[in-house]
Structure 1
Amino acid sequence: MTCPNDSCTARVLRGILDEHLQHCQQVGQPRCPLGCGATLTAMEGEQHNCYRDLRDAWILRQERNWILLLSLLGHVRQVHRNTNYIRQQLAQLGNWRMTPCF
């Protein structure tokens, strides 16, 4: 079996895994109890909250997406206005050429 500690590359027999873990250098560093897999120091363990961090990152991403969407809608409106203006100009140009010159 591979040692369950991330930074340990040892492979041991299943029967002696417990013995290995007693001497493994990573045993003293606890992992995140919420399940993200982070190896934490004692100070980090008290402040670590992967759910809060994930929620905050999600909110920030949604805010950025909203800003991008509003910007994109502004660009689409500008393209629509420009397209309508070009159509009007082409229509006027077409009418001008069809008018007989005397």
Structure 2
Amino acid sequence: MSQSSSLLDALASTDMLEIDGLYAWHFELHSDTPEQLLSIEVMDGSSRRLWRFTQAEVQAARYEAASDSWHLAKGDASHRLKCLGALVADNADVGEDE
């Protein structure tokens, strides 16, 4: 995906995320709750993993062009987040008359 001016802008147009190498299609932006602005949930094998980030943490995220990812800090932990767009396929046969 192309770089947005902020992670919040990128999240607004994202269909799926990759966090620390795990793909997450289930994520939510809670604009009315700044203490839990972003929540991300993934299944890692049979384990459920959940991340929650505050508005301040999302605003402080920095973009790294080389990896096309955002780096978020949560306490002492650092997380790498990639914003991914959905793939859309057209199943219409080429050259088929209707």
**TM-score of the superposed pair, with normalisation by structure 2:** 0.25
State which structure, 1 or 2, has the greater radius of gyration over its C-alpha atoms: 1
Where is the strand percentage greater, Structure 1 or Structure 2?
2
Larger RCO (CA under 8 A, 6+ residues apart): 2
Identify, as 1 or 2, the structure richer in helix: 1
